[in-house]
Amino acid sequence: MMDAKVVEFCRLLRENGVRVSVAETMDGLRALGAVGLEHPELVRAALRATTVKRANDVPVFDALFDVFFLGLGEAIKAATQATAEALGMDPEELQRLIEALEALAAEQGIELSALAKALLRADSGTLERLLREAAERAGVDEIQHGFQEGRFTHALANALGAGGVADELARLRGLAALDERPDGAQLRDYIDRRLQDLLDMMKGAVRQELDRRDVTRRERQSLQALADKSFFYLTEEEMRRMQEAVTRLAQRLRNVVALRRRRARRGTFDSSATLRRNLQYGGTPFHIVFDRRRKDRPQVVILCDVSDSVRNVSRFMLQFVYSLQDLYSRVRSFIFVADIGEVTALFKEHDVNRALDLAMQGSIINVYSHSDFGRAFRAFHRDYLGAVNKRTTVLILGDARNNYNLPHEWVLRDVQQRAKQVVWLNPENRMTWGFGDSEMDRYAPFCTLVEECRNLNQLYRVIDRLVTA
């Protein structure tokens, strides 16, 4: 029973972007075996320690844990609590009332079902178990939309045998009224309320399932779609998530690159270094020295257009590159619209996101002017050409929409002659290049590579090639 629940919970975590392996699920089960199930907080701590390995995932875990493990139980307890309060009874009085009801049932030979007993006794544990079992039989987990709530509540009521319970309790209620007992009114009131509570609990169970679906579906949709979504149409929420996605992708890329480099680094036997190293042992070669190939980290110069139309792309591009800063020997970055300015120092002083905010706010250059690639390039040629040498990859990001100004493509020619390669990323659809004021066709001949870069997947591919180059 618990096993299935934990497995199901781990699946739910996975659907919400928390990576939980099978081994971790099993660890979770063993951990629960060690701490027991009595205290919800211990169950939470045990599951968290075994299945959640990133601090970022902890809020997701906590939210899901609440919905999954506590939701129904809490709802049931709350309903009981509310009833007791509404009747204005303390626990002892309530206990007496329940005993009186059971005695009455026994007297009159009414066989109460398990559900009716649990309901009257306010036995939360049994109620929860019965509700869950019935929910499973009724297939409540197939619910898709809010408007199906009524239908599934009905199905749940059938599976639970709620009709029978209502009949049993109605008879009991009638007896309590007949008997002219002094506490008759109270008994009837209690039964009425508990029946109402049962309805609320069933609704709660269905609603909870719906919530779970919702969380899952929302997360999954946006995760899948985000990587393919064009940078132009991002909501603020998506911008935030995109930043996370970039960080995650950067991490993945870093691991891959570390592996590749390790493989590439094995060298051959270096006889002279071995001799030198072993002079202290009288030339006996205790240490064998291999000639390790020099880590050839690429140098990158980035030119980012930050005019309105492409600002988002530039942002993610810069974030990506700077998240991977340790993979390059050197990164210099410039932003331009009509003027050009260097932002390298910003990234040294602040963390990536803060630096990006500062860069995009216009403290370096006027970001609200009209794009003028030619002018910006000429300024680059004049002031910063020294930044480019034969080990440099120059990365230009822009839509090449020049507002019919002079393109000055000769700058790119000069840059290309000095650089290892020039890569141009254009966030516009390839079909529209060269139309209107787009000067892409003029710039393209001087680039080693021209790529369309409209979404995260394309960006990832480009950066991947860049760090490997």
Partner 1 sequence: MFASIDDVIQRFAAHQYIASRTIATVVYLASHLRKPILVEGPAGVGKTELAKVLAAALGQPLLRLQCYEGLDEAKALYEWEYAKQLLYTQILKEKIGEVVAGARTLNEAVERIAREDDVFFSERFLLPRPLLRAITDDHASVLLIDEIDKADAEFEAFLLEVLSDFQVTVPELGTLRARHHPTVVLTSNNAREMSDALKRRCLHLFIDFPDRQQELDIVTLKVPEVGRALAEQVVSLIQRVRKLDLKKVPSISETLDWTRALMLLNVSALDDAMVAETLSVILKYEGDIRKAQQELREFVELQRAKAASGAVRSDKDVVH
Amino acid at 303: L
Q: How far is the CB of 280 from partner 1 (least distance, A)?
A: 9
Q: List, as one string, the DSSP characters of 23-82.
A: HHHHHHHHHHHHH-SS-HHHHHHHHHHHH--SGGGHHHHHHHHIIIIIHHHHHHHHHHHH
Q: Where does residue 107 rank: exposed (0-12), middle (13-18), buried (19+ CB within 10 A)?
A: exposed
Helix, strand, coil tally for the chain in percent (to 5): 70, 10, 25
* Interatomic CA distance for residues 469 and 465, integer angstroms: 6
Q: Which of the ranges 44-52, 103-111, 120-128, 227-235 carries the binding residues for partner 1, by CB under 8 A? A: 44-52
Whichever of 1 and 23 has its CB closer to partner 1, that residue is 23
With CB under 8 A as the contact rule, the residue among 5, 11, 54, 218 that binds partner 1 is 54
Whichever of 21 and 389 has its CB closer to partner 1, that residue is 21
Amino acid at 366: N
Binding to partner 1 (CB under 8 A): which residues in 218-257?
A: 251, 254-255
Q: How far is the CB of 282 from partner 1 (least distance, A)?
A: 8
The dihedral built from the CA positions of residue 190, 196, 197 and 199, taken in this order, carries a sign that is positive
Q: How far is the CB of 316 from partner 1 (least distance, A)?
A: 19
With CB under 8 A as the contact rule, the residue among 258, 264, 275, 345 that binds partner 1 is 258
Calculated CA dihedral for residues 179, 185, 189, 191, nearest 10 degrees: -10
Whichever of 79 and 246 has its CB closer to partner 1, that residue is 246
Closest of 98, 76, 102 to residue 87, by C-alpha: 98
DSSP for residue 211: H
Whichever of 49 and 225 has its CB closer to partner 1, that residue is 49
Q: Are 351 and 393 in contact (CB under 8 A)?
A: no
Q: Which of the ranges 34-42, 234-242, 395-403, 429-437 carries the binding residues for partner 1, by CB under 8 A? A: 34-42
Q: Are 131 and 202 in contact (CB under 8 A)?
A: yes
Binding to partner 1 (CB under 8 A): which residues in 395-434?
A: none
Whichever of 230 and 278 has its CB closer to partner 1, that residue is 278
Residue 281 engages partner 1 in binding (rule: CB under 8 A)? yes
Whichever of 48 and 241 has its CB closer to partner 1, that residue is 48
Q: How far is the CB of 242 from partner 1 (least distance, A)?
A: 18
Site string for partner 1, 12-31 (x = CB under 8 A): -------x-x-xx--x--xx
With CB under 8 A as the contact rule, the residue among 2, 8, 37, 53 that binds partner 1 is 53
Q: Which of the ranges 40-48, 111-119, 290-298, 382-390 carries the binding residues for partner 1, by CB under 8 A? A: 40-48
Q: Where does residue 316 rank: exposed (0-12), middle (13-18), buried (19+ CB within 10 A)?
A: buried
Residue 55 engages partner 1 in binding (rule: CB under 8 A)? yes
Residue 42 engages partner 1 in binding (rule: CB under 8 A)? yes
Residue 52 engages partner 1 in binding (rule: CB under 8 A)? yes
φ, ψ dihedrals at 20, nearest 5°: -120, 120
Could you give the 3-state DSSP secondary structure of residue 303? strand
Whichever of 269 and 281 has its CB closer to partner 1, that residue is 281
Whichever of 27 and 291 has its CB closer to partner 1, that residue is 27
* Interatomic CA distance for residues 121 and 390, integer angstroms: 82
Whichever of 178 and 258 has its CB closer to partner 1, that residue is 258
Residue 49 engages partner 1 in binding (rule: CB under 8 A)? yes
Site string for partner 1, 287-326 (x = CB under 8 A): ----------------------------------------
Residue 467 makes CB contacts below 8 A (sequence gap 6+) with 253, 257, 298, 324, 327, 328
Residue 41 engages partner 1 in binding (rule: CB under 8 A)? yes
Q: Where does residue 269 rank: exposed (0-12), middle (13-18), buried (19+ CB within 10 A)?
A: exposed
Amino acid at 104: L
Radius of gyration for the alpha carbons in the chain, expressed in angstroms and rounded = 34
With CB under 8 A as the contact rule, the residue among 16, 50, 153, 458 that binds partner 1 is 50
- By the criterion CB under 8 A, which residues form the site for partner 1? 19, 21, 23-24, 27, 30-31, 34-35, 41-42, 45-46, 48-50, 52-55, 58, 251, 254-255, 258-259, 262, 281-282, 284, 286
